Structure 1
Amino acid sequence: MSPRNSVLEASLTRQRIVDRGLMLASVDGLEGLTIGRLATELGMSKAGVLGHFGTKEGLQLAVVDAAAELFAREVPQHARGVPPGLTHLHTLCEAWVSYLEREVLPGGCFFTAAAAEFDGRSGPVRDAIAGMDALWRRDLGIHIRRAITAGDLPADTDPDQLVYELVGIVLALNHSLQLHHDKQAPARARRAMQRLLRNR
């Protein structure tokens, strides 16, 4: 096998491990993600799985990155090309609700579950999760400020408060879908978001 093919095969194997790890972690949590289970499910040795990441923490961090990439494809990228302002914000919110409604991951919102799992801890995994959350909130705030500048939202709108309330709606949506299997929850979330943005 040529070096180029060997590198490609290693990269594809690593991606398979991460993809499967993301599916498992979305249901069982990042701590429930074990090298042994991944090895069994993928027909690999434990050493073969671990060799791609070095440590379990390395695997967890790779899964967090993969979750962030998936979220970016499913939510922010759906608003690409949409003019800035309230229309862009509505498009983002709809994509956010749809992401959970369509059960893109079997365990619902990966970052909601991971934040609950790691919020009281310290270390690189907790920092990565907090960093991704902060980045998304910052982006939401940017779009809210653009809507204010465009005159779509009142000048006295508090962007941080609006971000807080939008995040709260999605947390409630994830909770209702995952814990109660409430099929009406996405519609409730949409109404709550529309009322929130309309009342500004």
Structure 2
Amino acid sequence: MAETHTDGRIARGNQTRQLVLKRAVEIASVEGLEGLSLGRLSTELKLSKSGVFALFGSKEDLQLATVRAAIKVYLEHVVQPARDLPPGLDRLWQVCTGWLDYSRRRVFPGGCFFYSVTAEYDAREGKVHDTLASARANWFTFVEQTVGEAQQSGEVEKEADAAQLTFELVALMEMANAESVLHNEFTCYDKASKGILNRLRAVATDASVLPAS
């Protein structure tokens, strides 16, 4: 009986934690991680302050948990759909268009969560900075590996500079996100998509593999 009671309490705690983190990533994508507070979240969600504090303990713990929650969402919407495709230009194109779609659809209200909060913490030190830096490094590594796999498949020229191509592709994605969020307009995604397509055509061994436009 005691075990059942304990299991139920753990389940409720997990549900509360997920509810808090869902709201936390929404706030942070718009106002930054500094905009988070345990008191604010408990008030907005009509939860016990003591219960929320027991789940996270400190503001830094909340911020780190929020980043980890955002990573899971990012993997689901951007990374996994590309992984479902075989290596090659199709997968690389999916990585780019999947990212643009993730930003365009406002999976996070403030556009790309990581573009927003990384700018907030890029010149700081500490655990939050390090976690964000690691997440960004992992993203760049994934894109560059996807380029490398396309090279190995024979669909991207072997002499293409994978690191440089990665930098340019990510730059186009992030510029579309920045312009869209700043000006609340969405034609920039089409411009970025066109630029990415042109860049991929330039390194493709057979450009017919890519969309016509």
Structure 1 residue 41, shift from structure 2 partner: 0.4
Match of 1:155 among 158, 176, 187: 158
Show the counterpart of 1:86.
Answer: 89
Among 49, 73, 77, the residue aligned to 1:74 = 77
Aligned to 1:43: 46
Q: Deviation string for 1:85-108 (max 9, x for gaps)?
A: 111101111111100111111100
Contact 2:82–2:94 at 8 Å: present in 1 too?
A: yes
Q: Is the 8 A contact 2:103 2:111 kept in 1?
A: yes
Give the match's secondary structure for 2:143.
helix
One-letter code aligned to 2:89: L
Mapped to 2, the partners of 1:65 and 1:46 lie a distance apart of 22
Counterparts of residues 121-136 of structure 1 (less than 5 Å): 121-136=124-139
Whole-angstrom CA distance in 1 between matches of 2:64 and 2:84: 31
Contact preservation (8 Å) 1:107, 1:178: yes
In the alignment, what sits opposite 1:20? 23
Three-state SS of the structure 2 residue aligned to 1:138 is: helix
How many angstroms does 1:48 deviate by?
Answer: 2.2
Matched, 1:102 2:105: yes
- Decide which of 177, 181, 185 is 1:182's aligned counterpart: 185
What residue in structure 1 maps to residue 61 of structure 2?
58
Contact 2:177 2:189 in 1 (8 A): no
RMSD: 1.1
CA distance in 2 between partners of 1:192 and 1:47 (Å): 51
Deviations 1:141-179 (A, max 9, x none): 111011111121111111111111111111101111100
Larger Rg: 2
- Structure 2 distance, partners of 1:180, 1:17, is 29
Q: Would you say the 8 A contact 2:78–2:95 is kept in 1?
A: yes
Aligned partner letter, 1:11: N
Paired amino acid for 1:29? G
Counterpart code for 1:41? E
Aligned residue number for residue 120 of structure 2: 117
| Alignment of 1:141 onto 2:144 | yes
**Structure 1 residues not aligned, in runs of 5+:** none
- Percent of aligned pairs with the same amino acid: 38
Confirm or deny: 8 A CA contact 1:79 1:92 kept in the other structure: yes
Contact 1:176-1:182 at 8 Å conserved across structures: yes
1:6 and 2:9 matched:
yes
Q: Secondary structure at the match of 2:34?
A: coil
Question: Following the alignment from structure 2 to structure 1, what is the Cα–Cα distance between the partners of residues 49 and 173?
Answer: 37
Is contact 1:35-1:46 (8 Å) kept? yes
Superposed CA deviations along residues 54-74 of structure 1, whole A, max 9, x for unmatched, are 110000000000110000000
1:44 Cα shift? Answer: 2.1
Query: What is the deviation of 1:189?
Result: 1.1
User: By how many angstroms is 1:180 displaced?
Assistant: 1.1
Which residues of structure 2 form unaligned runs of 5+? 204-213
Deviation at 1:129, TM superposition (A): 0.5
Q: Is the 8 A contact 1:29 1:113 kept in 2?
A: yes
In structure 1, distance between residues paired with 2:133 and 2:83: 25
One-letter code aligned to 2:28: A
